[in-house]
Amino acid sequence: MADISQQLKEQVLQARDSGQKLNIVGGGTKAFMGREADTDAGTLNVGEHTGIVDYHPVELVLTVRAGTPLSEIEATLAEEGQCLHFEPPHLGAASTIGGTLACNLSGPGRPWAGSVRDQVLGIRLLNGKGEHLRFGGQVMKNVAGYDVSRLQAGALGTLGVITEISMKVMPKPAASLTLVQEMGMDEVIHYMNSRAAEPKPITAACWVDGKVYLRLSGAKSGVEATAEKWSGEVMEEGDKFWQEVQDFHHEFFAGNDVPLWRFAVGSAAATPELEGNWFIDWAGSQRWFRGAGELKDLEPPARAAGGQVSLFRGGDRNGEVMHHQPEALKGIQRRIKTAFDPDNIFNPGRLYSWL
Amino acid sequence: MTTKPKVSKAELAEQFRAFIDPDYVITDDETMKPYECDGMSMYCEMPLLVVLPETVEQVQRVMRICNENAVPVVARGAGTGLSAGAMPNKEGVVLSLAKFNRIVEIDPLARTARLQPGVRNLAISEEAAQYGLYYGPDPSSQIACTIGGNVAENSGGVHCLKYGLTVHNILSVEMVTAEGDVVIVGSDGLDSCGMDLLALMTGSEGLLGVVTEVKVKLLPKPEVAQVVMAGFDDVQKGGDAVGGIISHGIIPGGLEMMDGHAIIAADDFAQAGYPRDAKALLLCEVDGTEEEVHEHIAQAEEVFRKLGATSVRTSQSEEERALLWKGRKSAFPAVGRISPDYYCMDGTIPRRHIAYVLTEMEKMSEEFGLRVANVFHAGDGNLHPLILFDANVPGEFERTEAFGSRILEMCVEVGGCITGEHGVGVEKIRQMAVQFNDEELQQFHDVKAAFDPAGILNPGKGVPALRFCQEYRSLEHKQHTHEHTEAAHG
């Protein structure tokens, strides 16, 4: 538990003076994400900037330094019967909250519980000028100034160093159970979306290997009553299954030989017809695809499904890994980058080759 | 800040009339009069002219002309905003999106709605009701306010704690940039690649772009909703009860608190049967499946009784639920009845400080000689003090503003912020200097410039020019500090 923000700031200022680039590293468990890191750049280690700064269970608000491991945060929350509602993927024991926000990673409950970005209330950020700034706040509603905090979600550290995060936490659900049944991929999109349109305590829905899994959580009576009405077998060790999905430990994700693509698309859109295997999560909004191919060939089907595709793991990480951006949006993003990091110090080329 | 426009009013009107129905290019003072202010009517300004385009292409052409000629543009929805965010610029154009009022498509399976920006908030839920769906955020102006304005302000409502703000309930926006390009931010997916521009756009108060279409998420309408009303003889007990409910693991659909003044005004108005001698009243609504609501209502009643409620009443029918809410929902007009004018403030505080904040506010009320009633979105810490005044008494509005400023500064002192949902606009622009330091404000200006290099979109709102901030801070003898002064009240 240490506050090393001053040291981080000095390192940024030094890099700025000497024209050096910096790769921002927390727990180092997400090195596989984004484009290849710049090998000439130095390392800015946020992993030692740790500790819970403020936590008031009745406020449902936690403020924590960005390098704090998820496991430490979750242990503290569990003592009060609370949790990180967005179910952060643990890509390793060292995974930090800062990296989770920078990569905008959320688990299976995301369509109902919200994403990490949704729970963020405020941040502290070191920009490329070495200024340590504070945006947002520690309260649920705050509309003063632009939402710079949530802007960081998915930016992969290209806009600055997140040093501290205030976020909403939630009570752990009192009860939870999982229903499983066999179903073909052609039927499952309609099925999951129809279930999600019912006013029932559904909190996760995924499909893999010819089976659909629905999780119900909340008040025990509501969960049990719904399970009786809906089809499917109650799954033994349902929580274990969802934990595996959350942490990419499910066997679908194993191995690095076949690239893992992420399609973030309309929940009810038809699944693109491609050579390879699918894992459908988030009731259809997040579809994982394992198959060879190139980004430019996968973009049209992703667009047809109302969304975007990115290369999550494996494959060619020297080319682009994120869905192509139209010129006008490229211009805006370049200028935003310059607004935060005028000397292009942070994670150069990690998000896009042109940023 | 923009430079002086390069064209005259007549030239500009002529250029617009070349592609917009001349009836919708308004230049005479009488027809422009309704546009001089928004819901914050104390701040008025007449614009150069008003245009009401009917197509996205027309919006693009308006933006290109204004950008080339450095003419300010103030986008406007229904004009219900409460921070003068839509107040015209006297050298600029008011760009009304009123003609964009079509619900383009509802997809009941995907639970989404595609909307033009001028669609009214309530109209979304009314249209979605046939599918058993509704749109979550429900600001109190929902009968009139539009979805475009909701995006600009990141509007909330009484259900935010459980269902989130606008930012949590939209998938994408189509917008026209200051330079006249059309871009789509977001997608049908729950997130998009790279930095989250959709979040940045939400709540940007018309300073970054003009929204021309919005795709929102719809939610299944809960099976049942029931409300528990609890009265307390002490504000502290009421505040503790809010924490008690949440600690119990219950996330209410709505959790509202009123102080003694608001209770009496609302009950006089709505005859809701509120406990008139109570110092704090909580309305706690639980929604969900029948079983879940039954379980949580019983727990909520028990928590309130344990924490010293002097009265507890649970709605037994839809009519009773509506009646209990009627008082709360009519709190503003109710207060309007007991005073010639009222000024609605909008700060957010950590809930645990509610008793301290209300007590301090009572002291200030005496100091300023102005009454104040409080309604509080207790679930999410959003406070709406209503300062009662008479605009016809010289100097009384100025005193009201000063009182309001002190309240907002106190919100920041206890770790909160100067606006929970009304936005900064013109109204709170000075207090931005209390919540943010110069480096932070400069970062906001730099973000703005990334979208709007010529500075034509809603100039002078949202983020103060730095030169005014120093003056404000020294004027008020404020020491800008980021450390919250929790110690001030233990």
pLDDT in tens, A74-109: 999 999 999 999 999 999 999 999 999 999 999 999
Report residue B474's pLDDT band, with 50, 70 and 90 as the boundaries: confident
| Percent of residues, chain B, with pLDDT higher than 90 | 86
User: Which of A58, A141, A226 is the best mutation test for B, with the most CBs of B within 10 A?
Assistant: A141
Residue type, B343: Y
Across A212-219, average pLDDT:
97
User: With contact defined as beta carbons under 8 Å apart, do B51 and B20 qualify?
Assistant: yes
Residues of B whose CB is below 8 A from A264: 187, 189-193
Distance, C-alpha B444 to centroid of its chain: 20
In percent, the amount of chain A with pLDDT more than 70 equals 100
Chain-chain contact of A144 with B202 (C-beta, under 8 angstroms): no
The phi and psi torsions of A309 (rounded to 5 degrees) equal -125, 150
Interface with chain B: mutation pick from A3, A77, A135, A143, highest number of B CBs within 10 Å: A143
Q: What residues of chain B, 415 to 434, have a C-beta less than 8 Å from chain A? A: 415-424, 428, 432
For the segment B28-51, what is each residue's pLDDT rounded down to a tens digit? 999 999 999 999 998 999 999 999
> Which residues 294-323 in chain B show a CB within 8 A of chain A?
294-296
The CA distance from A90 to A52, in Å, is: 19
Q: Measured between CB atoms, does B132 come within 8 Å of chain A?
A: yes
Mind listing the pLDDT tens digit for each residue in A146-201? 999 999 999 999 999 999 999 999 999 999 999 999 999 999 999 999 999 999 99
d(Cα B197, Cα B204) in Å, to the nearest integer? 11
3-state secondary structure of A322: strand
Give the per-residue pLDDT at A258.
Answer: 95
- pLDDT category, B468, cuts 50, 70, 90? confident
Look up the ipTM and state it: 0.98
Check: CB of residue B97 under 8 Å from CB of residue B58.
Answer: no
Closest of B219, B210, B20 to residue B117, by C-alpha? B210
**Mutation target among B303, B417, B452 for the A interface, most CBs of A within 10 A:** B417
Distance from the Cα of A96 to chain B's closest Cα (Å) equals: 19
Q: Using the beta-carbon criterion (under 8 Å), do A308 and B419 form an inter-chain contact?
A: no
What pLDDT, on a 0 to 100 scale, did the predictor assign at position B476? 57
Residue A127: is its pLDDT beyond 70?
yes
Instruction: Please give the pLDDT value at position B475.
Output: 66
For chains A and B, CB pairs below 8 A equal 289
Give yes or no for A222 touching B (CB within 8 A). yes
Structure tokens at B222: 């809960």
**Mean pLDDT, rounded, of chain B:** 93
Distance of CA B470 to the CA centre of its chain: 27
Nearest CA in chain B to A329: B183
- Furthest-apart CA pair in chain B: how many Å? 71
Encoding tokens for residue B281?
């009243």
pLDDT digits (tens, 9 = 90+) for A229-239: 999 999 999 99
Of the candidates A165, A158, A162, the residue with the CA atom closest to the CA atom of residue A34: A158
Q: Which residue of A has its CA nearest to B182?
A: A328
- What DSSP line would sit under A234-297, residue for residue? EPTTHHHHHHHHHTT-SGGG--SSS-EEEEE--TTSPPP--SSEEEEEGGGTEEEEE----HHH
Give the residue from chain A lying closest to B481, CA to CA. Answer: A134
User: Is B487's pLDDT higher than 70?
Assistant: no
Average pLDDT over residues B358-368: 95
| Distance separating alpha carbons of residues B447 and B441, to the nearest angstrom | 10
Residue A68 pLDDT exceeds 80: yes
**CA–CA separation, B35 vs B49, rounded Å?**
10
Residue B4's pLDDT is: 73
pLDDT for residue B472: 79
Q: Write the residue in A61, A147, A338 that is nearest to B202 by C-beta.
A: A147
The answer to whether residue A134 neighbours chain B at the CB level (below 8 Å) is yes
Lowest mean pLDDT among A51-55, A347-351, B460-464, B478-482: B478-482
Tally of helices (H runs) and strands (E runs) in chain A: 11, 17
B-chain CB neighbours of A147 within 8 Å are: 154, 167, 199-200, 202-204
pLDDT, position B480: 39
pLDDT bracket for residue B335 (50, 70, 90) = confident
What is the C-alpha separation between A168 and B367, in angstroms, rounded? 36
Token digits of residue B264: 């009496």
Of the pLDDT bands very low, low, confident and very high (cuts 50, 70, 90), residue B479 is very low
Other Cβ atoms closer than 10 A to A97: 29
Does B490 score more than 70 pLDDT?
A: no
CA A24 to chain B, closest CA, distance in angstroms equals 16
For strands A170-171 and A260-264, give the pairing.
unpaired
* B57-114 tens-digit pLDDT: 999 999 999 999 999 999 999 999 999 999 999 999 999 999 999 999 999 999 999 9
**Which 38-97 residues of chain A touch chain B by CB within 8 A?**
56-61, 81
Mean pLDDT, residues A66-71 taken together: 98
Q: Where in chain A does DSSP place strands (E)? A: 22-25, 42-45, 52-56, 61-65, 82-83, 120-126, 132-136, 161-168, 170-171, 175-182, 202-208, 211-218, 233-234, 260-264, 277-281, 286-290, 308-313
Q: Is the pLDDT of residue B485 over 80?
A: no
Residue A19, chain B, CB below 8 Å: the answer is: no
CA dist B383 and B417 (Å) reads: 10
Contact of B52 with B117, CB cutoff 8 Å: no
What contacts A56, CB < 8 A, 6 or more positions away? Answer: B350, B352
Cβ count within 10 A of residue B477: 6
| Most distant CA atoms of chain A, gap in Å | 66
Q: pLDDT for B182-229, tens place per residue? A: 999 999 999 999 999 999 999 999 999 999 999 999 999 999 999 999
By the 8 A CB rule, do B162 and B251 touch?
A: yes
Burial of B6 (0-12, 13-18, 19+ CB in 10 A): exposed
% of chain A residues with pLDDT over 90: 98
- pLDDT (0 to 100) of residue B329: 84
Rounded average pLDDT over A279-299? 97
- Give pLDDT, residue B164: 95
pLDDT, position B6: 82
A285 close contact with B: CB closer than 8 A = yes
Taking alpha carbons only, the member of A289, A284, A292, A353 closest to residue A324 is A353
Cα separations (Å) of A107 from A88, A92, A204?
5, 14, 9
